[in-house]
Amino acid sequence: MPTRRPLHEMTRDLTDVAAGRRPADLVVRNGRWVNVCSGEIVDGTDVAVLGPRIAYCGPDAGPTIGADTTVVEADGRFLVPGLLDAHMHVESTMLSVRRFAAAVLPRGTTGAFIDPHEIANVLGLAGVRLMVDEARATPMRIYVQVPSCVPSAPGLETSGAEFGPGEVAEAMGWDGVIGLGEVMNYPGVAAGDERLHGEIAATLKAGGVVGGHYASPDLGVPFHAYAAAGPSDCHEGTRAEDVVARVRQGMYAMVRESSAWRDLAAQIGAVTAGGIDPRRVLLCTDDRHAGTLLREGHMDDVVRLAIREGLPPMTAIRMATLNTAEHFGVALDVGCIAPGRYADFLLVGDLERFEVTRVIAAGETVARDGKLAVEMRPFEVPDRARRSVRIGRRLDRSDFVVRAPETAKTARCRVIEIVENQAPTRAVTAELPVVDGVVSPGEGTGIAHLAVIERHRGSGRIGRGFVRGFGLEGRCALASTVAHDSHNLLVLGSDPDAMAAAAHRVVEIGGGIALVRDGGVIAEIALPIAGLMSEEPIGEVAARAEALHRGLRACGCTAGDAFMTFSLLALPVIPRLRLTDRGLVDVDAFAIVPLFVDGDNP
Amino acid sequence: MPTRRPLHEMTRDLTDVAAGRRPADLVVRNGRWVNVCSGEIVDGTDVAVLGPRIAYCGPDAGPTIGADTTVVEADGRFLVPGLLDAHMHVESTMLSVRRFAAAVLPRGTTGAFIDPHEIANVLGLAGVRLMVDEARATPMRIYVQVPSCVPSAPGLETSGAEFGPGEVAEAMGWDGVIGLGEVMNYPGVAAGDERLHGEIAATLKAGGVVGGHYASPDLGVPFHAYAAAGPSDCHEGTRAEDVVARVRQGMYAMVRESSAWRDLAAQIGAVTAGGIDPRRVLLCTDDRHAGTLLREGHMDDVVRLAIREGLPPMTAIRMATLNTAEHFGVALDVGCIAPGRYADFLLVGDLERFEVTRVIAAGETVARDGKLAVEMRPFEVPDRARRSVRIGRRLDRSDFVVRAPETAKTARCRVIEIVENQAPTRAVTAELPVVDGVVSPGEGTGIAHLAVIERHRGSGRIGRGFVRGFGLEGRCALASTVAHDSHNLLVLGSDPDAMAAAAHRVVEIGGGIALVRDGGVIAEIALPIAGLMSEEPIGEVAARAEALHRGLRACGCTAGDAFMTFSLLALPVIPRLRLTDRGLVDVDAFAIVPLFVDGDNP
């Protein structure tokens, strides 16, 4: 695998090749150059490559061919710049960076702008560093953003790290770090929060790009206040008018097509019908699960969809290449096929169907006909990342039991009610029976136990509560260290014994997900890297996720995309009621509230 | 004049204004927002400004208006981003940076990317520094490029400084320096010259933009070799196919409309008819004289011309705003009207006529109806810059006399022959009479004396030769310290006494231009800043240039744009024969050649 080297080390060598004084390492002949810079298709184009970079694009690379030059005949296929994902979280795939790269390179994604937000909440800057370092073990060009909101709600939850302007400034100095990850606390930004503006300032001062995340439909004063704070992009729009508003304010509108949030069709009309110039519109996946990657694809899928939704192929491709590179200020490295740039490009037989037949990354063929053709470099996951689940003791049923106040016969409790296929929850109350001084979710109520165990510092702190809507039957429990954003150990169950068993199993496998039914583990996914990522190939991870899904159905769980809904139950920045290790959080009040109505916290 | 402050110092304040928590300093109401980002005209737009930056753009800035807010009614006029000149040399105007800013701000130019190539040849990095510092005394946002080719031809001429990778790296660390100035030695770049590639590498390593200058019509191998070396733009194209070639190679094509080189009409067809996407096409002036600025304008004139040549106003404006800002990576500061950006924008009554009625720069109204409405800040030109003419002795007629070899009656000399309205010269020979051992240009030959006196180090070195084509009559001489690129003291004359008088006058006034006829100075322009720039207002400088032009006519000079042709006679990188302080230079051979054919240098 050729090492990616900065352009400033290579200008003489590239010039020598272009001038015919030195042979190229690779020449691709007779392609149809999808020239995203000029907006043309230029037939009969040759590309000559030296090491990781392009030396020549033009009608005849013959003079650059030497005895040892690899020559690939494009035979009139299209030469397309390698696709770039403008915003995504590798952790959402549950794959390590190497396994992720192995999965998406054959799809034509050669670059990505990743926000390692999840691992940062577990391992802090060391987690960000891990992602930066592991990215170098792949042929992809991965740019890393420093997560901005670690934790999401300081004081209301316990995460493995806290980031402020100092952490951001430090990471901005690392090679491979491109800017600040989505500044999700948009009310805080609009309110002038000092820490958030400090992080933004540290990023801008270092020349980085500030990623935005304005997740409200209100395009009035709060939106304008957010826009004035410096974020350069936003991927949280869901309507065509959101694209219009963002581009007008000088931001780049990122149109997202994730596993759960399918926002492209509703937004792209801003371009196809609304007359918005597409140059500041980008495509991204944000969060795609392993199963979606396997079944539908990655950026290739998003480009295909954009074309089906009415964009000319050139426009759709630009939204996944040049536009993105320009936004992040890296268009001398990626985003187009031109001299000096990294040799990251694809051979594509038909632009509309966008079937990628060969993928060249850093000057080497890394995939052919959808199959990976290269090994990742060895990479040692630091030991610390494998020891991220720290509970401090063996959990048992008593940890999951909710003691009732004094001698009550029933207890009036705050209960989280999930809303199918939506992230927000409802805050309801329920009168729950008390048996032997212990609050029970009751029979036929659809209510289950929920617990969050702090797992970063071994404090033993547990938040306990109840949730309605998953519809568990029998004695079963689901435990997971994937629990946004602090990723404590989140446990859902109909029975404290099952909960203890599931939680213990997750601890045993060093982090991950375990589903217990009638005393036995019926599905599990080991996620040894920070309790978030597997080191297994995508097929294995997707199969395990599918088995988990089937297991949940077997447990009577009827909710659509139950695991995702579950994994957001501890995220205290999405309305309205959440549970963290510190207790129930009323998100609207941004405060801890007692489990018992008019009572104290248990 | 509000001080330009980096965005990272202002995000909280701007957010406060946009949120209505703090009053704006300036609000412009009810404009038609020329939104270069989205490509739309958005009617009924208000803009709120705090200090030098924009806090809000939207339908109602009412909440940002306080008791002390200045409110300007746009009354439906267009709000256009301040124009940016993508490539230019202030020295070509013969104006100081402050006088230049005073001249172009009323035209709507609020930003420029300048290559202080001329002053660098005289004063070295101190000259570059002077321009950077003086730029801060203006309300303009001027970005400075480090000149790359100082001197133009090392070894063949004596300049005041020599730049290499070290100088470039040093200046790249200065605030206000954006990249490397046009790398003019394109054959050297294509040949892999180590110093040039070192300068390019130093620029890229520091994150700067490498300015290109490929001045050949050959779009084959030499062009591709140049393109592989890292230059990101080029302003030397003259044909539509030059635009196409540059954009395809991932460069930005700068379309130039200078005083002498009028390249827009011939190139813009690449966009209007050729289908090239305009986003990587920029407009620039390169070299505009004071007279052109006064009579025709600056970037406003170029934008008008682009519209007349068939571009939609939005496209033409983008080529002078957003495209340029994006190219140089400064689109968070300039190039569009959007929150966070500098409040550099224009009120324009009609887009096609492009008449600028108000200019706001750094948040302040700096011009109204074509009149400057602001004072520049005081700026002290460093003493060293005023003492740049160092001859070391008083020049007299003997300095300009060419001694013949031994006892010859005639001498066969190499003679520079000028070509009207073209930069290249012809290399001819002539049999010149020898009188009293001195070579005379002869009567009725159209040949005159030419001399170049080294003026930086006081070495006393003089190069002597002859030139044909200016058509001087009587005893007259023209002397100038504007003599590209080394800017030695260049003297043209029909008579050695007149030459000594003109040269002496230039020394006396501390640098500049003097025209002597029949023993008296009939026109002069004092250029005390490095012998290149005046501190007088543009009207004065233009009038003096006009008087010089009339004086040259009075001296019988018939050549078109005689002064420009004259001022290039010492530039040993334009074919074919030139004169420097080291002697005659055969540009094709890139070597000093003797004045006498088959003889030694005098």
**Residue-wise pLDDT tens digits, A552-596:** 999 999 887 899 999 999 999 889 999 999 999 999 999 999 999
Distance CA B345, CA B356 (A): 10
Instruction: Say yes or no for a CB contact (<8 Å) between A38 and B336.
Output: no
Over residues B449-464, the pLDDT tens digits come to 999 999 999 998 999 9
Q: Is A601 a residue whose pLDDT tops 60? A: no
Contacts of B542 (CB under 8 A, 6+ apart): B289, B290, B291, B293, B294
Averaged over A201-210, what is the pLDDT?
98
Per CB-CB distance under 8 Å, the chain A contacts of B237 are none
Decide if A187 touches B, using CB distance below 8 A.
Answer: no
Over residues B22-76, the pLDDT tens digits come to 999 999 999 999 999 999 999 999 999 999 999 999 999 999 999 999 999 999 9
Query: What is residue A2's predicted lDDT score, i.e. its pLDDT?
Result: 75
The predicted complex's ipTM stands at 0.96
Query: What is residue B201's predicted lDDT score, i.e. its pLDDT?
Result: 98
Query: What is residue A598's predicted lDDT score, i.e. its pLDDT?
Result: 75
Q: Which of A367, A480, A371 is nearest to A140 (CA)?
A: A367
How does DSSP classify residue B588? T
Mean pLDDT of chain B: 96
pLDDT cut 70: percent of chain A above it:
99
* A460 dihedral zone (left: phi>0; alpha: psi -120 to 50; beta): left
Q: Is A110 a residue whose pLDDT tops 60? A: yes
Closest chain A residue to the Cα of B229, Cα to Cα? A11
Closest chain B residue to the Cα of A233, Cα to Cα? B332
Decide if A561 touches B, using CB distance below 8 A.
Answer: no
Query: What is residue B599's predicted lDDT score, i.e. its pLDDT?
Result: 61
List the single residue in A63, A200, A247 with the smallest CB-CB distance to B37: A247
List the single residue in B191, B202, B340 with the smallest CB-CB distance to A230: B340
Decide if A205 touches B, using CB distance below 8 A.
Answer: yes
How does DSSP classify residue A9? G
* Measured CA distances, A381 to A130, A566, B135 (Å): 7, 28, 51
Task: Give φ, ψ of A392 to 5 degrees.
Answer: 95, -10
Query: What is residue B600's predicted lDDT score, i.e. its pLDDT?
Result: 53
Over residues B382-438, the pLDDT tens digits come to 999 999 999 989 999 999 999 998 788 999 999 999 998 788 999 999 999 999 999
Instruction: Say yes or no for a CB contact (<8 Å) between A224 and B341.
Output: no
Instruction: Say yes or no for a CB contact (<8 Å) between B17 and A228.
Output: yes
CA atoms within 13 A on the CB side of A527: 33
If pLDDT is split at 50, 70 and 90, which confidence band does A492 have? Answer: very high
pLDDT cut 90: percent of chain A above it:
95
Per CB-CB distance under 8 Å, the chain A contacts of B249 are 57, 338-339
Instruction: Say yes or no for a CB contact (<8 Å) between B250 and A191.
Output: no
* Measured CA distances, A334 to A50, A80, A283, B297 (Å): 15, 12, 15, 38
Collapsing DSSP to helix, strand or coil, B467 comes out as strand
Decide if A16 touches B, using CB distance below 8 A.
Answer: yes
How does DSSP classify residue A262? B
Averaged over B507-533, what is the pLDDT?
97
Query: What is residue A278's predicted lDDT score, i.e. its pLDDT?
Result: 98
Mean pLDDT of chain A: 96
Per CB-CB distance under 8 Å, the chain A contacts of B319 are none
Name beta bridge partners: B592.
B585
Averaged over A173-198, what is the pLDDT?
96
Over residues A307-338, the pLDDT tens digits come to 999 999 999 999 999 999 999 999 999 999 99
Collapsing DSSP to helix, strand or coil, A179 comes out as strand
Chain B nearest-CA distance from A118, in A, is 27
Decide if B202 touches A, using CB distance below 8 A.
Answer: yes
Distance CA B525, CA A376 (A): 68
If pLDDT is split at 50, 70 and 90, which confidence band does B265 have? Answer: very high
Chain A nearest-CA distance from B82, in A, is 15
If pLDDT is split at 50, 70 and 90, which confidence band does A405 have? Answer: confident
Instruction: Say yes or no for a CB contact (<8 Å) between B224 and A18.
Output: yes
Residue A58: is it exposed, middle or buried by C-beta count within 10 angstroms (0-12/13-18/19+)?
buried
CB pairs under 8 A between A and B: 199
Q: Is B94 a residue whose pLDDT tops 70? A: yes
Chain A nearest-CA distance from B476, in A, is 49
Collapsing DSSP to helix, strand or coil, B246 comes out as helix
Residue of B248, B281, B341 to mutate, interface with A, max A Cβ within 10 Å: B248
Per CB-CB distance under 8 Å, the chain B contacts of A277 are 37-39
Instruction: Say yes or no for a CB contact (<8 Å) between A11 and B275.
Output: no
> Which helix H or strand E contains A314, and what residues bound it?
helix A313-319
Over residues B111-144, the pLDDT tens digits come to 999 999 999 999 999 999 999 999 999 999 999 9
How does DSSP classify residue A5? -
Closest chain B residue to the Cα of A190, Cα to Cα? B15
Closest chain B residue to the Cα of A231, Cα to Cα? B340
- Which residues numbered 247-276 in B keep a CB inside 8 Å of some CB on A? 247-250, 275-276
Angle between helix A125-135 and A97-104 (nearest 10): 40
**β-bridge pairing A252-256 and A281-284:** parallel
Query: What is residue A275's predicted lDDT score, i.e. its pLDDT?
Result: 93
Decide if B173 touches A, using CB distance below 8 A.
Answer: no
- Which residues numbered 462-501 in A keep a CB inside 8 Å of some CB on B? none
List the single residue in B207, B221, B336 with the smallest CB-CB distance to A19: B221
Q: Is A599 a residue whose pLDDT tops 80? A: no
Interior angle at CA A300, CA A299 and CA A304, nearest 5: 115
Instruction: Say yes or no for a CB contact (<8 Å) between B190 and A15.
Output: yes
List the single residue in B15, B56, B207 with the smallest CB-CB distance to A207: B207
Averaged over A405-432, what is the pLDDT?
91
Averaged over A395-422, what is the pLDDT?
92
Q: Is A20 a residue whose pLDDT tops 60? A: yes
Per CB-CB distance under 8 Å, the chain A contacts of B247 are 37-38
Instruction: Say yes or no for a CB contact (<8 Å) between B192 and A17.
Output: no
pLDDT cut 70: percent of chain B above it:
99
Averaged over A375-403, what is the pLDDT?
96
Decide if A63 touches B, using CB distance below 8 A.
Answer: yes
* Measured CA distances, B500 to A458, A591, B450, B520, B545 (Å): 91, 88, 12, 12, 21
Per CB-CB distance under 8 Å, the chain B contacts of A218 are none
Decide if B225 touches A, using CB distance below 8 A.
Answer: yes
Query: What is residue B406's predicted lDDT score, i.e. its pLDDT?
Result: 78
Closest chain B residue to the Cα of A5, Cα to Cα? B205
Contacts of B215 (CB under 8 A, 6+ apart): B184, B186, B236
Chain B nearest-CA distance from A370, in A, is 29
Closest chain A residue to the Cα of B243, Cα to Cα? A38
Q: Is B216 a residue whose pLDDT tops 70? A: yes
Instruction: Say yes or no for a CB contact (<8 Å) between B332 and A40.
Output: no
Decide if A44 touches B, using CB distance below 8 A.
Answer: no
Per CB-CB distance under 8 Å, the chain A contacts of B227 are 18, 338-340
Instruction: Say yes or no for a CB contact (<8 Å) between A194 and B63.
Output: no
As separate numbers, helices (DSSP H) first and strands (DSSP E) second, chain B gives 19, 30
**Is the peptide bond preceding residue A576 cis, with omega within 30 degrees of 0?**
yes
Query: What is residue B601's predicted lDDT score, i.e. its pLDDT?
Result: 52
Closest chain B residue to the Cα of A280, Cα to Cα? B37
Averaged over A37-57, what is the pLDDT?
98
> Which helix H or strand E contains A491, and what residues bound it?
strand A489-493
Instruction: Say yes or no for a CB contact (<8 Å) between B6 and A244.
Output: no
Distance CA A278, CA A268 (A): 10
Instruction: Say yes or no for a CB contact (<8 Å) between B247 and A38.
Output: yes
Instruction: Say yes or no for a CB contact (<8 Å) between A250 and B339.
Output: yes
Q: Is A602 a residue whose pLDDT tops 70? A: no
